[in-house]
Amino acid sequence: MKKTKFLIIGGTGKTGRKVVESLRVLNQEVRVGSRGAEIPFDWDNPKTWDDALNGIDKMYITFQPDLAVPGAKDAIEALVNLAKTKGVQKVVLLSGKGEQEAERCEAVIMNSGLDYTIVRANWFMQNFSESFLLDPIVQGVVALPMYQYKVPYVDTGDIADVVVESLLHEEHNGKIYQLTGPEGYTFPEVVELIAERTGREIEFVPISLEDYVKVLNSMDLPEGYSWLLEYLFSHIITNLSNEEITDDIELVLKRKPRSFSDFATEMAHSGIWNATATISE
Ligand SMILES: NC(=O)c1ccc[n+]([C@@H]2O[C@H](COP(=O)([O-])OP(=O)(O)OC[C@H]3O[C@@H](n4cnc5c(N)ncnc54)[C@H](OP(=O)(O)O)[C@@H]3O)[C@@H](O)[C@H]2O)c1
């Protein structure tokens, strides 16, 4: 019998690389889809998609930079149409919880006729260790707007485990999973926790969204990046339904999600927030 072949788009990214690792441990046949992969896949160059999809049965899609950006729906539509002609049977899509724009992309997949699972995630814990919130933590001053909202950050390892389950088992077909961590934290609470775990002084500075956007615009950021961050702060953090805590991780994995406290302890010990800091127990 032919072995199922998986394409993991964004397979070296925050969730994708964990999906790739887990599938390989399970002796599955996996192809990484990214610009730097052996068979390159580039969202900005559809000519690369055909080769990347050759022989693929199931795929995990992480879109770049975000399903909310203009053009995302058209790109997802074009990829899914091609995937159907290439014999792909199932798609697992990483989406954002409470993102209306992302839901338009989800609908493309749900109406495609392919088997699918939609994985809607809240903000990642790893935004503080592998993304745009790492630098301010390292510098010791975190200035952010929307600091009164509680965010139930979710661990990318938990997301990857749900994705792997969904890719491997047909009982997850047609499901939408909404993934959150077990408790919500405001930005000042996150900063306080990281300061405590690292033994460092880290200041939280409350600022308005307007001032935050002015700072972003004064920086040399990739095109569209500051628009995207403004959108995420004004539409996602402020969406009160995103303070909700779900039990979908436990439903799928039969175990509790990782807590932000455990994440903070582990990252503090890794030294990523300050190589020279003394770690508090
Ligand atoms: N961060 C959050 O809190 C959050 C929450 C909910 C949903 N999401 C969604 O998560 C998705 C991102 O997933 P992620 O965080 O796992 O990935 P990530 O770490 O942002 O992605 C990096 C991966 O994408 C590849 N990549 C970058 N640009 C590419 C392009 N133009 N074409 C093809 N591949 C490209 C990179 O490899 P190469 O450099 O080799 O191309 C790498 O494999 C986004 O759609 C975002 O909306 C994020």
Minimal-distance CA residue to ligand 1 atom 24: 10
Kindly report, residue by residue over 60-114, the tens digit of the pLDDT. Answer: 999 999 999 999 999 999 999 999 999 999 999 999 998 888 999 999 999 999 9
- Asked if residues 198 and 129 have their Cβ atoms less than 8 Å apart, the reply is no
For residue 270, the model assigns a pLDDT of 96
Q: How far is CA 81 from the centre of its chain?
A: 24
Residue 237 lies inside a defined structural domain of this protein: no
CA dihedral sign, ordered 31, 34, 39, 41: positive
Q: Which of 59, 60, 64, 187 to mutate to test the pocket of ligand 1 (most atoms within 8 A of CB)?
A: 64
pTM of structure? 0.96
Helical ranges in the chain per DSSP H: 16-25, 49-53, 72-85, 100-110, 134-139, 156-168, 187-198, 209-217, 225-231, 248-253, 260-270
Lowest-confidence region among 13-22, 223-232, 241-250:
223-232
Is the pLDDT reported for residue 8 higher than 80?
yes
227 CA to centre of ligand 1 in angstroms: 17
Residue 128 lies inside a defined structural domain of this protein: no
Is the pLDDT reported for residue 275 higher than 60?
no
Which residue segment(s) compose the domain that 65 sits in? 5-121+155-180+243-255
Residue 238 lies inside a defined structural domain of this protein: no
Lowest-confidence region among 13-22, 39-48, 144-153, 224-233:
224-233
Residue 29 lies inside a defined structural domain of this protein: yes
Residue 26 lies inside a defined structural domain of this protein: yes
For residue 168, the domain's CATH number is 3.40.50.720
> Which of the four pLDDT bands, split at 50, 70 and 90, describes residue 276?
low
First and final C-alpha spacing in the chain: 52
Is the pLDDT reported for residue 281 higher than 50?
no
Number of domains present in the structure of the chain: 1
| Secondary element (H or E) of residue 61 | strand 58-61
For residue 235, the model assigns a pLDDT of 87
Residue 174 lies inside a defined structural domain of this protein: yes
Is the pLDDT reported for residue 277 higher than 50?
no
15 CA to centre of ligand 1 in angstroms: 8
Q: Which of 8, 9, 14 to mutate to test the pocket of ligand 1 (most atoms within 8 A of CB)?
A: 14
Kindly report, residue by residue over 79-89, the tens digit of the pLDDT. Answer: 999 999 999 99
Residue 94 lies inside a defined structural domain of this protein: yes
Chain mean pLDDT for the chain: 94
Lowest-confidence region among 24-33, 47-56, 198-207, 266-275:
266-275
Residue 213 lies inside a defined structural domain of this protein: no
